[in-house]
């Protein structure tokens, strides 16, 4: 890991992918501009945490003092209007340590608090690894992150070079960004595995074939964005569950090997809107609140 971290790194790759998708998906311009700016702040926090290496007992204070101010400054400067105003007010009246502690503790939080905590904590947890993530509150089972106990934010099909023990399907953690293998055609929200209860929504032309139920129907929604009848999201689809009424977006790296799940998931806003119209809610919203 250390030998590749010099020239590239997770944040360098995410920034590059964000730029690429910015050019491709005009409808996601605002979200991707904002995310790109945030990635710059997170990349610095990641590098600093790698050298400072705060221990688990200092984690909350470290993030509150060293990362929250930069996240807030960036958000006030470049965030969407609602977030911009809300964040400044909130941080005037609240100790940032409380926000971080609540997110680490798995407590219910308002969207604003969760955004600040999550944006600030995740690069530090990523830098410090599983030992520090292990101190976070959360269930440890197949539907929660094995490192921190967080909920899955997204799903992806890996390329063949990754560990394919789980059939090549992985979930990504909303809190520490660790990934873990999870069975295909099984709901990450409730464990439902009856394919008739697991509708998949994708576009005509989506490259990932799959057994089980398949419900097309995104074409109307994406009509304005489709060019030459090519899929707007050839590699992203909605995997929903009729039993718990949750969904996640799945990114297929076989269909687009350049995809970076955490970035591509943020850019697929029209799919989130479509899933919501169908009455499904995401297991946990992404960093931008979708
Ligand atoms: Zn995690
Ligand atoms: Zn379910």
Q: Which two tokens stand for residue 111?
A: 């969207």
Residue 191 Cα to ligand 2 midpoint, Å, equals 6
Residue 278 Cα, ligand 2 centroid: separation in angstroms? 15
> Could you give phi then psi for residue 35, rounded to 5 degrees?
-65, -40
Q: Could you tell me the two tokens for 95?
A: 């100790």
Q: What is the mean pLDDT of the chain?
A: 90
Neighbouring residues of the ion ligand 1, judged by CB less than 5 Å:
145, 147-148, 150, 173, 175-176, 178
How many CB atoms lie under 10 A from the CB of residue 73? 13
Q: How confident is the model at residue 2 (pLDDT cuts 50, 70, 90)?
A: very low
CA of 45 to the centre of ligand 1 (A): 18
Q: Where do the structural domains in the chain lie, given as residue ranges?
A: 10-133, 152-282
Residue 274 is inside which H or E element, if any?
Answer: helix 269-277
Q: Could you give the percent of the chain with pLDDT greater than 90?
A: 77
Per-residue pLDDT tens digits for 178-204: 999 999 999 999 999 999 999 999 887
Residue with token string 């050839």: 234
The pTM score is 0.91
CATH superfamily entry for domain 152-282: FdhE-like domain (3.90.1670.10)
Q: Say how many Å lie between the CA of residue 137 and the centre of ligand 1.
A: 10
Please report the pLDDT score of residue 207 as a whole number.
60
* Ligand 2 mean position, distance from CA 243 (Å): 5
Q: What is the pLDDT of residues 129-177, one digit of tens each?
A: 999 999 999 999 999 999 999 999 999 999 876 555 556 899 999 999 9
pLDDT higher than threshold 80 for residue 106: yes
Q: 3-state DSSP: the chain helix, strand, coil percent, rounded to 5?
A: 45, 10, 45
Token pair listed for 133: 């993530």
Whether the per-residue pLDDT at 59 is higher than 60: the answer is: yes
């Amino acid at each position: 890991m250390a030998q590749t971290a010099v020239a590239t790194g997770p944040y360098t790759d995410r920034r590059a992918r964000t730029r690429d998708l910015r050019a491709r998906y005009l409808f996601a311009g605002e979200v991707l501009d904002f995310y790109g700016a945030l990635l710059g702040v997170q990349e610095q926090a990641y590098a600093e945490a790698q050298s400072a290496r705060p221990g688990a007992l200092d984690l909350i204070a470290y993030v509150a003092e060293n990362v929250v101010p930069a996240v807030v400054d960036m958000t006030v400067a470049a965030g969407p209007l609602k977030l911009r105003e809300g964040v400044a007010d909130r941080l005037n009246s609240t100790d940032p340590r409380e926000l971080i502690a609540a997110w680490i503790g798995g407590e219910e939080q308002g969207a604003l608090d969760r955004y600040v905590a999550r944006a600030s904590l995740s690069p530090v947890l990523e830098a410090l690894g599983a030992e520090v993530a292990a101190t976070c509150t959360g269930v440890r089972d197949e539907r929660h992150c094995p490192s921190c106990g967080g909920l899955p934010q997204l799903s992806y099909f890996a390329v063949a070079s990754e560990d394919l023990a789980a059939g090549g399907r992985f979930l990504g953690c909303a809190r520490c960004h660790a990934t873990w293998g999870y069975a295909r055609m099984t709901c990450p929200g409730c464990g439902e595995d009856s394919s008739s209860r697991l509708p998949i929504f994708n576009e005509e032309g989506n490259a990932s074939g799959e057994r089980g139920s398949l419900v097309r129907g995104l074409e109307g929604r994406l009509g304005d964005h489709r060019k030459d009848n090519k899929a707007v999201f050839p590699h992203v689809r909605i995997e929903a569950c009729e039993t718990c009424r949750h969904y996640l977006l799945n990114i297929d790296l076989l269909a687009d090997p350049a995809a970076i799940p955490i970035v591509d998931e943020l850019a697929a806003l029209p799919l989130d809107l479509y899933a919501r119209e169908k009455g499904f809610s995401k297991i946990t919203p992404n960093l931008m609140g979708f």
